[in-house]
Each structure stands twice: as C-alpha cells, then as structure tokens.
Amino acid sequence: MYRELDNLLSAETTEGSWYDDGCIIASDILSDFRADDWGKLKSEVLTKPLEWQKNWHTVWIITEVHMNFQYYYHYLVLMMKSYLRYA
C-alpha cells in the first residue's frame, strides 16, 4: 500500500484535482495501511521532495479531520438516542 501512496503523492496533478480526488484516494489508501507500510512511510517521508511532503501533510490533516468528525458524529447520535429514550 505504501507504494500506491508514494506514486499518488508523486503524481503531477493540478491543485484542484489533488484536493478533489487525490486526497480522497490517498485517504482510502491509508485506511488499508499495515505496520510495515507505516514503517516505510516513517523512514522515507523526510527524503521526499517538498511537494510530496506538502501533499502528504494535506492528506494527513484531511484524514484526521474526517476520522474525528466520524467519531463525534457517532457520539452525538448515541447521545441523542440516549436522550430520546429518557425524554
């Protein structure tokens, strides 16, 4: 999976295309990462070109925001169900 992410982050794209499609695809790739993929990423990230690192940073932030949003959404749904049960 790391090679797929590496190829995607290295691809020449327009900025709009990157934000519209590339980040979503990269986020999906990250969801399939295993320990060895994270190890490769950790060992190679600082050797990559600056544009690659910028793309990686964007993907990481978007993935984290998305995961936190999902967590809070599910939390709010559970709270509402609990509230409605006792209301």
The pLDDT tens digits of the residues spanning 26-85 come to: 888 888 888 899 899 888 988 999 888 888 888 887 777 666 655 555 556 666 666 666
pLDDT for res 62: 77
pLDDT band at 1 (very low <50, low <70, confident <90, very high): very high
CA 75 to chain centre: 21
Helix axes 23-31, 2-10, angle to 10 degrees: 170
pLDDT for res 55: 86
Task: Quote the number of domains for the chain.
Answer: 1
CB 25 within 8 A of CB 8: yes
Placement of tokens 């190679």 in the chain: 44
For residue 4, the SS3 value is helix
Distance between CA 25 and CA 7 in Å, rounded? 12
Q: Which domain holds residue 52?
A: 2-86
The pTM is what?
0.68
